[in-house]
């Protein structure tokens, strides 16, 4: 065995010697030319040695290159002893800063032993604008400077994709990140950092993030599918993904400790230290967060939405004298938080026996902001408030303006503090019990007509979130982009009855629901037959789409069948099953048709019995009949064609001579109103609806908001003649608001 081990070690040593002989570390010189290529997209400049990489830096920094296409063809060692001059760095401090503006494809190769000291715009690339950098691995490297990142110091209007780094970052000023230190985007510009990982090393700085340090400007930055494993230590702000700034952050995770250790500001978050105007979705933190203001996802949130996120790391508040502190399982302060959970413990460190100004502590959020809310969240954690001083504490929130800002929140544990620091109860909220090993969680009070926590979370889910049980047995949210059909769309078809009369079929996509492990949309179908005042049949249908295929729930067989295949081409076919009957749809033609300035793909289909033959507009539906009505035993009428199609009240398609505006107004006029009734505005609404009650003598009056399936979503009291209700947390869709005997339909955008 010893001989085998010695032989293996000898082979590895010889392999390393051979590799170094073929491609030795950088000697500090600059090559005179590249290994090949002409710099075009089809034939990029080939970089095979460290000296040729140095040539790219020299040309970029002297503004004689750096604007073409480049590809790495070998692993490169920069030697460690030679100081690397970043690609895109001023030669003289008084010069304009030259930028790398080309594309660089690392081709999966590794750049190792890069050393940068006391440099502004410090990284493999210093400053980029309009560039693309991808497929690079950087290992065993050390970077020290301002605007510091192992891939790039500062980027503008740049794409960074599929990069991984290992090494240390030290930052003697602000803005440092494992991948990128700083992002500046002017209005209309967009940068993106995707599929990147900070693996091993240490990162310290004033404002620092595991992926990017800070952002500025009015442009957009997207960070997605990124992961941090490196411990992050910041003197001012620290985040597992973003230190400070504005970005759309999606599907990112942090697996390392994040600490902010300056007593004056001291903000730390598992995903973002300070998030300003951010949208954070499907992000998770798994390790400890420490700061005077600390949150499992955000240290501090300013006009930020946190959606489908979870924290599993402990959140620790270090107390300092005369300092205002906040601590929350998701956010220390601020943020619109929905469909999130906290499973990390909340702890207070007052080892210095300090006397803080105030301390706000909450299982989800420490303290509210005027533009925030908490909806459909749960908390499982221990909350240590034994060293608690001034301020407020709560199982869900430390403080908030009133109970309307918190609804449908759940908690598990034996707590001796209220749900919210200022109110003892929250609307639609309660405790639950159960065990993860069984994956069975029981609500003490039924919510959405169920005692099952997972079902309640799904029935209250918003904005594309769907809850499942994770591998341990806890509910976990998953974010999915809205798919066909979109909630808020409506269809109008004409019906030819057996007596020759013409009535109508009306369909509305009104909500999401759950069937087993799927999350279909609910379509309310109203068939008005013979006499609209006497005979209307209303049913609920369930459809969902995946990869361009639309599935329809067959109530007879209790299974899904394919309804449409929007991806189909000429000659393709699919089968629709209803109970024991089936038809096979054949695609005869595929065309593009323009309606009202929009181009739609149209499939011309047929079946042998002419049950569902006709045209299917992809993304909208069949132009003759949305569903194959003849397969549903409907023999006393024929659906004879789509006449109108709306999305949130906006007419997108019209066929024939009918007045779609009149039809829409008639159908959506739920109640006749007189001077004694009420009105609401705006309608459609985004965030706030105002209820105008004309009869002040009736106040206060209770109101109830239900969805189109009759589930009660919200209740409250109208206390003034211009009463405002926050509906921002409601999912996009159609709702009914009832006061007394009157009801008005409104649309939530």
Q: How far is CA 377 from the centre of its chain?
A: 16
Tell me if residue 449 falls in helix, strand or coil. coil
Read off the tokens for 69.
Answer: 């296409």
Take residue 76 and report the two structure tokens written for it: 């490169």
Average of pLDDT values for 314-337? Answer: 86
From the CB of residue 656, how many other CB atoms can be counted at a distance below 10 Å? 10
For residue 250, give both structure tokens. 């999606």
In this structure, are residues 242 and 272 in contact, taking their beta carbons and an 8 Å threshold? yes
Q: Where are the domains of the chain?
A: 322-481, 489-666, 674-748
Question: Around Cβ 647, how many Cβ atoms within 10 Å?
Answer: 15
> What's the pLDDT at 686?
67
Rounded distance between C-alpha atoms, residue 311 and residue 299, angstroms: 12
CA distance 520 to 510: 11
Q: What is the pLDDT of residue 34?
A: 97
**What pLDDT digit, counting tens, does each position of 687-746 carry?**
788 787 766 667 788 888 887 666 788 888 887 777 888 887 777 667 888 888 788 877
Strands (E), 502-566: 502-512, 521-528, 536-546, 549-554, 559-565
DSSP letter string, 221-240: EEEES-EE-SEEEEEEEEES
Alpha-carbon distances of 413 from 395, 410, 419, rounded to whole Å = 9, 10, 12
Predicted local distance difference test score (pLDDT) of residue 204? 83
CA distance 538 to 532: 12
The whole-number pLDDT of residue 695 equals: 65
**Domain 674-748, what architecture?**
Sandwich (2.60)
d(CA 237, CA 215): 13
Q: Can you tell me whether residue 220 is helix, strand or coil? A: strand
Query: How high is the mean pLDDT of the chain?
Result: 85
Q: What is the mean pLDDT of residues 336-358?
A: 82
The SS3 of residue 15 is: helix
Name which residue leads in pLDDT, 513 or 299: 299
When mean pLDDT is compared across 346-360, 512-526, 580-594, 601-615, the lowest value belongs to: 346-360
Which residues touch 471 (CB under 8 Å, ≥6 apart)? Answer: none
In terms of average pLDDT, the best of 23-37, 425-439, 716-730 is: 23-37
pLDDT at 17 over 90: no
Least trusted range by pLDDT, from 83-92, 151-160, 330-339, 692-701: 692-701
Are 542 and 563 spatial neighbours (Cβ–Cβ below 8 Å)?
no
């Amino acid at each position: 065995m010893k001989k085998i081990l010695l032989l293996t070690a000898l082979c590895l040593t010889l392999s390393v010697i051979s590799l170094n002989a073929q491609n030795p570390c950088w000697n500090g010189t600059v090559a005179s030319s590249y290994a090949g290529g002409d710099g075009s997209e089809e034939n990029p400049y080939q970089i095979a040695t460290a000296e040729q990489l140095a040539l790219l830096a020299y040309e970029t920094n002297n503004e004689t290159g750096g604007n073409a296409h480049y590809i790495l063809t070998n692993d490169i060692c920069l030697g460690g002893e030679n100081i690397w001059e970043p690609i895109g760095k001023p030669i003289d401090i008084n010069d304009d800063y030259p930028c790398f503006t080309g594309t660089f494809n690392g081709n999966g190769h590794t750049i190792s032993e890069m050393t940068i000291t006391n440099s502004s715009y410090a990284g493999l690339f210093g400053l980029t604008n309009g560039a693309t950098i991808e497929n690079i691995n950087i290992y065993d490297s050390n970077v020290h400077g301002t605007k510091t990142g192992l891939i790039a110091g500062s980027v503008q209007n740049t794409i960074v994709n599929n990069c991984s780094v290992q090494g240390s970052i030290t930052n003697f000023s602000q803005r440092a990140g494992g991948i990128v230190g700083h992002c500046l985007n002017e209005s209309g510009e967009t940068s993106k950092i995707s599929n990147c990982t900070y693996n091993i090393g240490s990162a310290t700085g004033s404002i620092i993030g595991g992926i990017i340090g800070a952002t500025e400007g009015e442009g957009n930055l997207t960070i997605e599918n990124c992961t941090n494993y490196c411990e992050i230590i910041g003197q001012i702000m620290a985040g597992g993904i973003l230190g400070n700034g504005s970005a759309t952050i999606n599907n990112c995770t942090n697996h390392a400790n994040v600490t902010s250790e300056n007593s004056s500001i001291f903000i730390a978050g598992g995903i973002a230290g300070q998030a300003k105007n951010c949208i954070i979705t499907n992000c998770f933190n798994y390790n400890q967060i420490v700061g005077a203001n600390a949150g499992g996802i955000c240290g501090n949130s300013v006009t930020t939405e946190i959606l489908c996120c979870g924290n599993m790391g402990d959140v620790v508040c270090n107390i300092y004298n005369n300092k205002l502190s906040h601590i929350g399982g998701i956010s220390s302060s601020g943020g619109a938080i929905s469909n999130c959970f906290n499973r990390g413990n909340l702890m207070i460190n007052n080892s210095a026996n300090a006397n803080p100004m105030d301390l706000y502590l909450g299982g989800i959020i420490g303290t509210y902001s005027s533009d925030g809310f908490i909806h459909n969240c749960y908390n499982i954690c221990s909350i240590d408030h034994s060293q608690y001083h001034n301020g407020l504490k709560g199982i869900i929130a430390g403080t908030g303006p009133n109970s309307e800002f918190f609804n449908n929140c759940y908690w598990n544990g034996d707590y001796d503090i209220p749900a919210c620091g200022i109110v003892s109860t929250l609307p639609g909220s309660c405790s639950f019990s159960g065990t993860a090993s069984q994956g069975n969680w029981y609500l003490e009070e039924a919510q959405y007509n169920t005692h099952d926590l997972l079902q309640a979370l799904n029935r209250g889910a918003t904005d594309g979130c769907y809850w499942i049980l994770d591998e341990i047995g806890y509910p976990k949210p998953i974010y999915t982009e809205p798919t066909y059909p979109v909630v808020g769309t409506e269809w109008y078809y004409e019906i030819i009855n057996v007596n020759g009369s013409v009535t109508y079929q009306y369909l509305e996509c009104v909500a999401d629901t759950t069937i087993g492990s799927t999350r279909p949309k609910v379509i309310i179908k109203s068939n008005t037959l013979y006499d609209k005042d006497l005979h209307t049949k209303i049913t609920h249908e369930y459809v969902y789409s995946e990869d361009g295929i639309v599935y329809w729930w067959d109530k007879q067989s209790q299974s899904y069948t394919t309804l449409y295949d929007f991806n189909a081409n000429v000659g393709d076919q699919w089968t629709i099953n209803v109970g024991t009957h089936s038809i096979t749809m054949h695609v005869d033609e595929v065309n593009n048709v323009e309606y009202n300035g929009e181009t739609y793909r149209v499939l011309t289909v047929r079946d042998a019995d002419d049950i569902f033959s006709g045209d299917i507009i992809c993304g909208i539906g069949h132009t003759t009949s949305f569903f194959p009505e003849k397969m549903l035993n409907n023999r006393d009428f024929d659906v004879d064609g789509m006449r109108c199609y709306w999305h949130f009240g906006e007419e997108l398609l019209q066929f024939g001579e009918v007045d779609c505006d009149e039809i829409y107004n008639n159908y959506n006029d739920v109640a006749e109103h007189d001077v004694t009734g009420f009105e609401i505005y705006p309608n459609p609404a985004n965030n706030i609806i105002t209820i105008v009650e004309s009869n002040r003598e009736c106040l206060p009056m209770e109101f109830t908001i239900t969805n189109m399936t009759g589930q009660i979503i919200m209740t409250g009291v109208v206390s003034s003649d211009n009463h405002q209700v926050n509906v921002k947390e409601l999912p996009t869709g159609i709702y009914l608001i009832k006061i007394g005997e009157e009801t008005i339909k409104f649309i939530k955008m």
